[in-house]
Amino acid sequence: MENYSTEKQMVRVSKLHKWFGDLHVLRGISVDIAPSEVVVFIGASGSGKSTLLRCLNFLEDAQQGEISFKGRQIDPKQDNLNRIRQRIGMVFQRFNLFPHMSVLQNIMEGPVQVMGQSRDEAKSEALDLLEKVGLQDKTDEYPDMLSGGQQQRVAIARALAMKPEVMLFDEPTSALDPELVGEVLEVMKDLAVEGMTMAVVTHEMGFAREVADRVVYIDEGEIIEMGSPDQVFDHPKQGRTQEFLSRIL
Amino acid sequence: MQLLEFAKTYTPLFIPATWITLQLTVLSILLGCGLGLLTAFAKLSDKKLLNRVADVYITVIRGTPLIVQLSFIYFALPGIGINLSAFTSAVVGLGIHNGAYIAEIIRGGIQSIDTGQMEAARSVGMDYGRAMRRIILPQAFRQIVPPLGNQFIISLKDSSLAGLITVNEIYMTSRRLGASTYQQMEFYLMAGVFYLLMVTVFSLIVNRLEKRLQTSSRQVSEVL
């Protein structure tokens, strides 16, 4: 299935297993993500797709299998995960903005505290990012004053401020009112066009069809089907994929 | 009228006692906060041994009367060669006692913060300590202040038990003077008034702090 050599992959996941207690949530997941590729993970809730994404950022510890980043295998016990996380941006379903900080501070926090950037430099970059996500007029607001869609766009800017090489999106629009979903997807589309490497867990099939280079269908902790949007949405080979798609489309 | 006259005569005798009560309270709170912070993090740690130690400490202290703890330190420890003055024994005993309660207050405050906050902090590359300091504690602080203020008031009143291990604080002073002058009513009333005044001032300070936190909780992160 894969014609790429290891070095060409941004992220390589190999035979990943994860248990929560007795619950076997990931059952040998192997998937690669190439630079600038947008991979969208779909599947029912509880299928393990969010867990997979959280494993990529080492927020969850997989018990078995390997994760490589830019050709280097990561050992969660040996490697400095803080360093690795700086290069992997994460956007959460529930935004998780820091409520005690203004929009600007939220975005500057990582660059100043972690990368040691000067406040002035961090501020000017944060302002650029806010413009990019269309919130330049909200710099001094606090998160609780913003709509869900605006909060999520700030969260994306916060992740981008670390200049990550990969962005992980964990159901970024699932907590949003329907009318706010579009503005967040728009920002994500722009990122994809700019060539950001992205792994996205979502229920937004329209987005998957339009933006994804590859769609991965996960069920019960296993990859059932993987391919171009055309292939997975229009010509699914597996019965389980067909059944899932017929339920949601 | 008689009571006022009485208060005027004896208040000077209560001044040094009040000073000692204040010292006991402040020092035991400081010690308690230090111990409480350490214990809270020990309980939150993923190291089983630290959890255990913290659990035993909290269980023993909360499960036994303060007067037994103070007596143990002052009367029993000399038996194994540890001799502390009455005042030091009281500070240590009250501090250890406060620490157990403050630990639970701090732990509760930290655990009340959504786990997504820690994840978000870690996801931008912060290590655990920095995430705690910059993201979790400033938010937890607001939750912690009201019960912590309450604990401070309790420890002010608890300091009266130090009298029973011969520290001349307010309670012991009133008991001594009451017994020797047969004016029990007057002296215990006076002790009560002194405690009430101090607690009132204390409450005012805590309330004001709470108010300020409500309006400016956002600046807490700048302080930490």
Tell me whether residues B130 and A114 touch, CB distance under 8 A: yes
Give the C-alpha distances (Å, rounded to integers) separating A150 from A128, A133, A183, A191, B45: 16, 9, 8, 16, 35
Question: Residue B156: which of B107, B103, B209, B196 has the closest Cα?
Answer: B196
- The percent of residues above 70 in pLDDT, for chain A, comes to 97
| pLDDT score of A218 more than 90 | yes
CB A188 within 8 A of CB A149: no
Q: What is the pLDDT of residue A5?
A: 47
**CA dihedral over A138, A140, A141, A142, signed as positive or negative:** positive
Which residues of chain B lie closer than 8 angstroms to A162, CB-CB?
124-125
- B216 Cβ under 8 Å from any chain A Cβ: no
Q: Are B76 and B84 in contact (CB under 8 A)?
A: no
B51: tokens are 């959890």
Question: How many angstroms separate the CA of residue B185 from the nearest CA in chain A?
Answer: 52
**B117 close to A (CB below 8 A):** yes
pLDDT bucket at B114, cuts 50 / 70 / 90: very high
CB B122 within 8 A of CB B145: no
Please tell me the predicted confidence (pLDDT) of residue B217.
52
CB A15 within 8 A of CB A30: yes
| Nearest C-alpha neighbor of B145 from the set B61, B58, B203 | B203
Mean pLDDT of the residues in chain A: 93
Residues comprising chain B, all counted: 224
DSSP string for B119-135: HHHHHTT--HHHHIIII
> What pLDDT shows up at residue A177?
93
Mean pLDDT, chain B, as a whole number?
A: 92
Q: Are A16 and A26 in contact (CB under 8 A)?
A: yes
CA distance A126 to A50: 28
Distances in whole angstroms, Cα of residue B161 to Cα of each of B32, B134, B143, B166: 17, 39, 29, 9
Residues of A with a Cβ under 8 Å from any B Cβ are: 57, 59, 82-83, 85-86, 88-90, 92, 94, 96-102, 105, 109-110, 113-115, 142, 155, 158-159, 161-162
CB contact set of B161 (below 8 Å; sequence gap of 6+)? B66, B67, B70, B171
Tokens 């805590």, residue?
Answer: B206
Angle between helices B115-123 and A148-160 (to 10 degrees): 40
Residue B221, pLDDT > 80, answer: no
Amino acid, single-letter form, for residue A41: F
Residues 6+ positions from B97 with CB-CB distance below 8 Å: B28, B32, B61, B66, B69, B155, B158
Q: Are B99 and B66 in contact (CB under 8 A)?
A: no
H-assigned helices in chain A:
49-56, 81-86, 103-113, 119-132, 148-160, 178-193, 205-211, 229, 239-248
In this prediction, residue A191 carries a pLDDT of 96
Tell me the C-alpha to C-alpha distance, in Å, between residue A42 and each of A90, A196, A202, A232, A244.
Answer: 18, 20, 6, 10, 10
Phi and psi at residue A16, in whole multiples of 5°?
-80, 130
ipTM, interface predicted TM-score of the complex: 0.91
Residues in chain B within 8 Å Cβ distance of A105? 221
Query: What is the reported pLDDT for A4?
Result: 46
A149/B210: higher pLDDT: A149
For B141, the closest chain A residue by CA position comes to A100
**pLDDT by residue (tens digit) across B5-61?**
888 888 888 999 999 999 999 999 999 999 999 999 999 999 999 999 999 999 999
Confidence class of residue A6 from pLDDT cuts 50, 70 and 90? Answer: very low
Q: What is the mean pLDDT of residues A123-152?
A: 95
Query: Does the CB of B138 have a partner CB in chain A at under 8 Å?
Result: yes
Question: Are A199 and A166 spatial neighbours (Cβ–Cβ below 8 Å)?
Answer: yes
Cα separation of the two ends of chain B? 52
Task: Nearest by CB to B124, from A59, A102, A162: name it.
Answer: A162
Long-range contacts of B1-10 (CB under 8 A, 24+ apart): B3/B186, B3/B189, B6/B183, B6/B186, B6/B190, B7/B190, B10/B177, B10/B186, B10/B187, B10/B190
Is B4 an 8 Å CB contact of chain A?
no
DSSP string, B163-214: GGGT--SHHHHHHHHHHHHT-HHHHHHHHHHHHHHHHHHHHHHHHHHHHHHH
Task: Tell me the pLDDT band of A3, cut-offs 50, 70 and 90.
Answer: very low
Indicate left, alpha or beta for A70 from its phi (over 0: left) and psi (-120 to 50: alpha). left
pLDDT in tens, A25-69: 999 999 999 999 999 999 998 899 999 999 999 999 999 999 999
Percentage of chain A modeled with pLDDT above 90: 92
Angstrom distance (rounded) from CA B187 to CA B157: 17
* Percent of chain B topping pLDDT 70: 95
Is 70 exceeded by the pLDDT of residue B1? no
What is the Cα–Cα distance from B166 to B147, expressed in whole angstroms?
30
Q: Give yes or no for residue B208 having a pLDDT over 60.
A: yes
Which of A59, A69, A96 to probe by mutation at the B interface, max B CB count within 10 Å?
A96
Judged by a CB distance cut-off of 8 A, whether residue B114 touches chain A is: yes
Q: Is the pLDDT of residue A128 over 70?
A: yes
Nearest chain B residue to A114, by CA:
B126
Return the structure tokens found at A16.
């990943």
pLDDT digits (tens, 9 = 90+) for B130-161: 999 999 999 998 889 999 999 999 999 999 99
Distance, in Å, from the CA atom of A146 to the CA atom of A83, rounded to the nearest integer, reads 31
Q: What is the pLDDT of residues B58-68, one digit of tens each?
A: 999 999 999 99
Scored b (16 or more CB within 10 A) or e, B10-32 reads beeebeebbebbebbbebbbebb
CB A142 within 8 A of CB B139: no
Comparing CA positions, the residue from A193, A227, A231 lying closest to residue A211 is A193
In angstroms, how far apart are the furthest CA atoms of chain A? Answer: 56
Q: In terms of DSSP bridges, do strands A64-69 and A38-42 run parallel, antiparallel, or are they unpaired?
A: unpaired
